[in-house]
Structure 1
Amino acid sequence: MAQPNAQEDFAKLSADLAALRGDVAKLAETLAAIARAEGEAAADAVSSRVRAGKARAEATAAGLMDEGLAAYEDAKGKAQALGGDVGAAIERNPYGAVLAALGVGFIFGLLSRSR
């Protein structure tokens, strides 16, 4: 009687092992599917943040370019106004302008000569 009982137990054990293998395979498939879904969600989140960062950087760069252009135009206008003022001052007092230029040249000459 011991013989048939051992064979039945072995058959049951084999069936249980086969069922366990199937369950482990299903568990592995489920875990792989979860990992894929989480990976895709993480990739989407990263991609979304990269796009948002790119948009912010482009907006900042455009703003800085506009500010730089405005500063350039302002400086250009001031330089033209200063040039016009200097030209008008020279026309009003040409001898004073020549003397001022000679004085500046003399000072630069003194500063640049070697000792």
Structure 2
Amino acid sequence: MADTNAQEDFSKLTADLAVLRADVAKLADTLTTLARSQGEAAADAVSSRVRQGKAKAEATASELMDEGRAAYDEARERAGKIGGDVTAVIERNPLGAVAAALGVGFLIGLLSRGR
């Protein structure tokens, strides 16, 4: 009888272990699926943030490009006006322009001369 009880207990224990193994396998599959879905969700969130950052960077670069182009156009316009003003002054007073050019040349010569 002791052997029969031991065999029955061993059979029950073996069956319980088989059920436990199946439960552990199901738990591992569930955890794997959960981890995979969480990983995909995290990857999607990171990808979304990267796309948003890229869009913001492109918008900022475009704005800076427009501002730079406007500043360049304004500087070019001002330079053209100054050039026209200088030309008008030279045409009105050519001797004064030559004297100013000589004075500037003389100053540059003095400054660039070695001591």
TM-score of Structure 1 vs Structure 2, range by shorter chain: over 0.9
Q: Tell me how far 1:111 sits from its aligned partner.
A: 1.0
Cα distance in 2 between the residues matched to 1:9 and 1:112: 109
What is residue 5 of structure 1 aligned with on the other side?
A: 5
Alpha-carbon distance between aligned partners in 2 of 1:40 and 1:109, rounded to the nearest angstrom? 72
After superposition, what is the alpha-carbon deviation per residue over 1:35-67, rounded to whole angstroms, capped at 9, x for unaligned? 010001000000000000000000000000000
Which whole-Å CA distance do the structure 2 matches of 1:34 and 1:21 have between them? 20
C-alpha displacement of 1:114 = 1.6
Percent identity between the two aligned chains: 72
Asked if 1:62 is matched to 2:32, the reply is no
TM-score, length basis structure 1: 0.99
Alignment-derived partner of residue 35 in structure 2: 35
For residues 24 and 83 of structure 1, the distance between their equivalents in structure 2, rounded to whole angstroms, comes to 86
Aligned-partner residue type, residue 88 of structure 1? A
Q: CA deviation at 1:80?
A: 0.3
Distance 2:39 2:19 in 1: 30
Q: TM-score, normalised by structure 2?
A: 0.99
Residue 105 of structure 2 corresponds to: 105
Q: Displacement of 1:113 after TM fit? A: 1.2
| Alignment RMSD (CA, Å) | 0.5
Cα distance in structure 2, aligned partners of 1:109 and 1:27: 89
Q: Which runs of 5+ in 2 are unaligned?
A: none
Instruction: Name the residue aligned to 1:73.
Output: 73
State how many pairs are aligned.
115
